[in-house]
Amino acid sequence: MPYATPTTESALSKPITVNSLRKFKREGQKFVCVALYDAPMSAMAQKMGIEVLLVGDSLGMTVLGYDSTIPVTMEQMIYHVEAVKRGNSKSLIMGDMPFMTYATPEQAMQNATRIMRAGAHMVKLEGGAWVAETVRMLSDRGIPVCAHLGLTPQSVNKFGGFRVQGRNEDQAATILNDAKLLDEAGADLLVLECVPTGLAEAITGAVAMPTIGIGAGQGTDAQVLVINDILGLTEKPPKFSKNFLVETASIPGALKKYADDTRSGVFPGTEHTFG
């Protein structure tokens, strides 16, 4: 039997804030994040109770037809953050900092300000110890930050492809130490992408900030998927993704089932994770 199309009873009752996410972590309550790029889907996510929306530079590959996130510009990110904001008044909205827009703390401050003015409640940037000073500067000046470790897509050329990170002891130790440094610097969230399940669990237990996994197992505080993957629109979907539309036959149903399965621990399964 197809998954039932949900009603608006699951809609968010009040705006989600950084404090909301910290409370979820303290109480062991998993929350849900979706990467999306437009006003109609943003409004649908709010109705389906999605707590966090990521306007990711993944739009370079999912919307604009690039082969990586690197060509995405600030103007493109601002355009899509504004669209998502217009469709949603209650989910917490994160906006990605594009490639080479935060190479220095001063540059990061200028560009993060633009993303926040476009409607984001938080900015996201990739990198380990080298961005700690930037995270501290932004946090001290009232700009919430989501950090991103593991497979950081803006470094795809350095990695030699989209590869799992942290599988050997040295890599794992570096990622764990970087997570602690970013936590101490004032980061409010941490995305862990394509890292072994055990490493993601260790990091989640070692930092105060909530963690959001993608290809990182069930041990994180939340999960994120790109809307294209949730709806089966990706020609060659990554291992960590799942098409929820085939089980529901409606876009609202797919979003709701993704959220329900994440909160209950059904998703991700072992087939979506890395050992």
Give the amino acid at 213.
G
φ, ψ dihedrals at 253, nearest 5°: -65, -40
Give the amino acid at 245.
L
Q: Is 184 helix (H, G, I), strand (E, B) or coil?
A: helix
Close Cβ partners of 112 (under 8 Å, ≥ 6 residues apart):
97, 102, 123, 138, 143
**Half-sphere exposure at residue 113, Cβ-oriented, CA atoms within 13 angstroms:** 8
Q: Is 266 helix (H, G, I), strand (E, B) or coil?
A: coil
CA distances from 122 to 12, 87, 93, 116, 119 (A): 19, 17, 7, 7, 9
Beta-ladder partners of 124: 96, 146
106 flagged as catalytic: no
φ, ψ dihedrals at 188, nearest 5°: -100, -25
Select which of 82, 193, 201, 271 is catalytic. 193
Q: Is 202 helix (H, G, I), strand (E, B) or coil?
A: helix
Catalytic site residues?
Answer: 193
